[in-house]
Amino acid sequence: MSNLSLLTMILFVMIPVSLSYLYSLGIGKSAIWSSLRGVVQLFLIGYILTFLFSIPDWQGIGLWVAVMLVIASFQASRRGQGIPHAFLLSLSSLILIEVFVLSLWIVFDIIPFRSEQVIPMSGMIIGNSMVAAGLAFERMKNEFHSNQGKVLAALSLGANASQASQMIIRKTIRAAMIPNVDRLKTIGLVQLPGMMTGLILGGASPIEAIRYQIVISISVFSTVSICAMIISLVTYRFFFNQNMQLQTIEGGND
């Protein structure tokens, strides 16, 4: 694909921009800026990955996985604004998940410990877990706010903080898992997943591409569930004070 051919993508950007101005949606400038920013970021990442792939695998993997973990933790913690230690909780959860998944991949010889494979696959795991963590933070705050009366009623009847929060914890974990459950139901039928498509375009056989897609899809499904559980089972405690009384956590969501 030549650079000239790539420039034709401007036509695709102009469609939503034109619609924005036509219907006075007010997102024209934002659409243009987001598109330009995305292109610049992708090219920048391309050069960074080229460098990482040229140095020893353990250095490239360690460096970029650390960067991804910190950025993902920061982004997830923004959804948990007002919750104590949201960043550290996100970071700890994501590190635990990444170590767990990468260890299984390596021990069972699913992928070799090479930058070209570990970095992009780890990115998928960390990215999806980041979304699950952010969703868990946000959903838990909303659920405690909406169900304050039920929680207080449970506490007044002698329930402890864990028992009074069980309904909220279940709803939070379920909400984080549903998108991935639905995605697994329609995978390969409604859309060809990105990783599988990329491998096929790169020349891999469809069966080989499917093997890798199965690995990443099941890994993502598992890690999203684990991440939502960790966040939920730790975070609910911050909605109660030392006397096990319900307290309100303020904080906007970006």
Task: Specify if 245 maps to a domain.
Answer: no
Q: 199 and 79, same structural domain? A: yes
Query: Which of 6-15, 79-88, 243-252 has the lowest average pLDDT?
Result: 243-252
Q: Are residues 98 and 153 in the same domain?
A: yes
What is the tally of structural domains in the chain?
2
Domain termination site, one of 15, 35, 52: 52
Please report whether residue 223 resides in a domain: yes
Is pLDDT of 254 > 50? Answer: no
Comparing CA positions, the residue from 224, 22, 63 lying closest to residue 136 is 224
What local confidence, expressed as pLDDT, does residue 95 receive? 96
Structure tokens, 40: 């610049």
User: Whole-angstrom Cα distance, residue 76 to residue 130?
Assistant: 6
Residue 248, domain member (yes or no): no
Give a yes or no: residue 81 inside a domain. Answer: yes
| 88 and 129 assigned to the same domain | yes
User: Binning pLDDT at 50, 70 and 90, where does residue 54 land?
Assistant: very high
* Amino acid 169: pLDDT: 92
Same domain assignment for residues 35 and 109 = no
**Residue 250 resides in a domain:** no
Q: What is the mean pLDDT of residues 87-95?
A: 95
**Domain stop point among 52, 67, 85:** 52
Q: Quote the pLDDT of residue 244.
A: 77
pLDDT digits (tens, 9 = 90+) for 25-34: 788 888 888 8
Tokens of 230: 């960790």
The answer to whether residues 209 and 135 belong to one domain is: yes
Looking at the structure, do residues 231 and 142 belong to the same domain, yes or no?
yes
Q: Which amino acid is at 159?
A: A
Cα–Cα distance for residue pair 79/131, rounded to 1 Å: 10
Report whether pLDDT(6) > 80: no
Same domain, 42 and 126: no
Residues 11 and 62 in one domain: no
Mean pLDDT taken over the chain: 87
- Tell me the residue range of the domain where 98 lies: 56-239
How far CA 199 is from CA of 2, 77, 202, 209, in Å, comes to: 20, 33, 5, 6
**pLDDT, position 253:** 46
With cut-offs at 50, 70 and 90, classify the pLDDT of residue 190. Answer: low
59 confidence band (pLDDT: 50, 70, 90): very high
Are 191 and 217 members of one domain? yes
Is the domain of 235 the same as that of 115? yes
What's the per-residue H, E or C state across the chain? CCHHHHHCHHHHHHHHHHHHHHCCCCCHHHHHHHHHHHHHHHHHHHHHHHHHCCCCHHHHHHHHHHHHHHHHHHHHHHHCCCCCCHHHHHHHHHHHHHHHHHHHHHHCCCCCCCHHHHHHHHHHHHHHHHHHHHHHHHHHHHHHHHCHHHHHHHHHCCCCHHHHHHHHHHHHHHHHHHHHHHHHHHECCCECCHHHHHHHHCCCCHHHHHHHHHHHHHHHHHHHHHHHHHHHHHHHHHHECCCCCECCCCCCCC
Structural domain contains residue 228: yes
Backbone region of residue 240 per phi and psi (left: phi > 0; alpha: psi in -120 to 50; beta: other values)? beta
In-domain check, residue 253: no
Among 110-114, 152-156, 241-245, the least confident range: 241-245
- Domain-located, residue 143: yes
151 plus 222 within the same structural domain: yes
Identify the domain boundary among 19, 34, 52.
52
Q: Are residues 13 and 135 in the same domain?
A: no
- State the pLDDT at residue 176: 83
pLDDT tens column, 92-137: 999 999 999 999 999 999 999 999 999 999 999 999 999 999 999 9
- The pair of structure tokens assigned to 34 is 């987001």
Say if residue 223's pLDDT is above 80: yes
